[in-house]
Amino acid sequence: MRSGRRDAERRPAEAPGAAGGSAADPIEVAREICLHQLAARARSRAELATTLRRRGVADEVAEVVLDRLTAVGLVDDSAFAAAFVSSARAQRGLGRQALAAELRRRGVQPKVVEEATAVVEESDEEETARDLVRRRLASMGRLPVEVRARRLVAMLARRGYSIELAVRVVYELVGATDDGEDEPPELDDLDG
């Protein structure tokens, strides 16, 4: 029943409790839409603006409502970005690149994205990558070492970790080659 929620977002804006065709205050309607959206989860200003646009709220009205919600602290892209980074790292194990991409997709300004992702230390990112690899390794015992290494590097890359970090972590934890080398394999060696 996902379409029900999306249909509700696309319906023209109506005042809650409006009787029949009586005219409603557009600012009140837009405010109610925003508050309903924020009750479900935190959202960026751009996400709220998109929802208001889909619901047929005029851009001028949306600006007034969003400015007011920002002034009272209900809409704060910096706080949203910081909370998103913390949550997505803890729950989904995302790396800096994926965090930044997701925040940009949600309409957060580049400067705010940079500030939010700057708090992720390289050592923390590496430790998170190691934890992800350790957990995934438990289910890969029967696969050849090369296949494990390739899949693990790909998993880390999809989650926003640099290829260099992914190769280094996987090599250290899997022993990515059976030939006794002490150095990680070249990136081209993992293409197979």
**pTM score, two decimals?**
0.73
Q: Tens place of pLDDT for every residue, the chain, 192 residues? A: 455 555 555 555 554 444 444 458 899 999 999 999 999 999 999 999 999 999 999 999 999 999 999 999 999 999 999 999 999 988 999 999 999 999 999 999 999 999 999 998 888 899 999 999 999 988 888 888 889 999 999 999 999 999 999 999 999 998 744 444 445 545 455 444
CA angle 105, 35, 114 (to 5 degrees): 30
Count other C-beta atoms under 10 Å from residue 83's C-beta.
Answer: 13
HEC-encoded secondary structure of 163-179: HHHHHHHHHHHHCCCCC
Task: Tell me the residue length of the chain.
Answer: 192
